[in-house]
Structure 1
């Protein structure tokens, strides 16, 4: 009886292999594709008028497309000549803009990586805080200390 069960199990396993094949290109079954962030952005303190970089890098053996969100909305890097994406996926802000009434660079950023026909992953969020040259020294020090204690 046990031998008959083993034969049936072998028969069904053989049918599955013949029907679906291995994980080759012709079978329609895909092998595992590793897809993760090797570097994610972290909270950053930037200085008004200087460059700032938010690091991000996705690791995979497939082609990865990286995009950036600020405050939940995808950035249009073509329309903003101060921001550009580096080859590894990091975001470079060439000159941080910040004034009393205009704070276009300050906010919450997130890196989004996509592999076509596979899926999308989103990094942790990172806050970019801007300290201006006219910031009171005590306020600047408190800002730096609060960022350090968050780490």
Structure 2
């Protein structure tokens, strides 16, 4: 009797598994497979010159790297690149500062930067940090 119940349980388990696989395939399951994402280039410390451009490099690699959204943080806070005409994201993911601003009391570009790549509904990765320092006056 116990052997018969075990066989029935196994049969129904297999049946349910196969049915759920078919349903997931038919409905285009919302579960996405793990996709490795990594940085092929991470930012490194930069010594910039006031009034000249500076670039912090960052590049994402992986099967879905083209779908990754790249953002930058400065001193732990995400940059709003749409509101800042001096800073812009280059096509590969690097950050361009067109004109480095630096004065005795105003140092908006100096700080610690970090690149973050996000795949929607899968997660994010963050690069190592890099310090941008402006050469002395």
Q: TM-score w.r.t. structure 1 length?
A: 0.71
Report deviation, 1:100.
Answer: 1.3
Matches within 5 A, 1:43-54: 43-54=45-56
Query: Which among 92, 107, 110 is matched to residue 103 of structure 1?
Result: 107
Distance 1:20 1:29, change over 3 A: farther
Report deviation, 1:26.
Answer: 3.0
Q: What's 2:95 paired with?
A: 91
Matches within 5 A, 1:1-150: 16-20=17-21, 26-60=28-62, 61=64, 63-132=67-136, 134=137
Distance 1:29 1:70, change over 3 A: closer
User: What CA distance in whole angstroms lies between the structure 2 residues aligned with 1:28 and 1:104?
Assistant: 42
User: What CA distance in whole angstroms lies between the structure 2 residues aligned with 1:59 and 1:14?
Assistant: 40
| SS of equivalent residue, structure 2 residue 20 | helix
User: Which protein, 1 or 2, shows the higher relative CO under an 8 Å CA cutoff with sep ≥ 6?
Assistant: 2
RMSD between superposed Cα atoms in Å: 2.6
User: What CA distance in whole angstroms lies between the structure 2 residues aligned with 1:126 and 1:37?
Assistant: 14
- Which stretches in structure 2 are left out of the alignment for 5+ residues? 1-8
Work out the number of aligned pairs and report it. Answer: 131
- After superposition, the C-alpha distances for 1:29-84 in whole angstroms (9 at most, x for unaligned) are 43231211111111111111111000011123261111111001111111111111
Distance 1:12 1:81, change over 3 A: same
User: What CA distance in whole angstroms lies between the structure 2 residues aligned with 1:107 and 1:114?
Assistant: 23
Would you say the 8 A contact 1:20–1:27 is kept in 2? no
Q: Which segments of structure 1 move beyond 6 Å, counting only runs of 4 or more?
A: 8-11
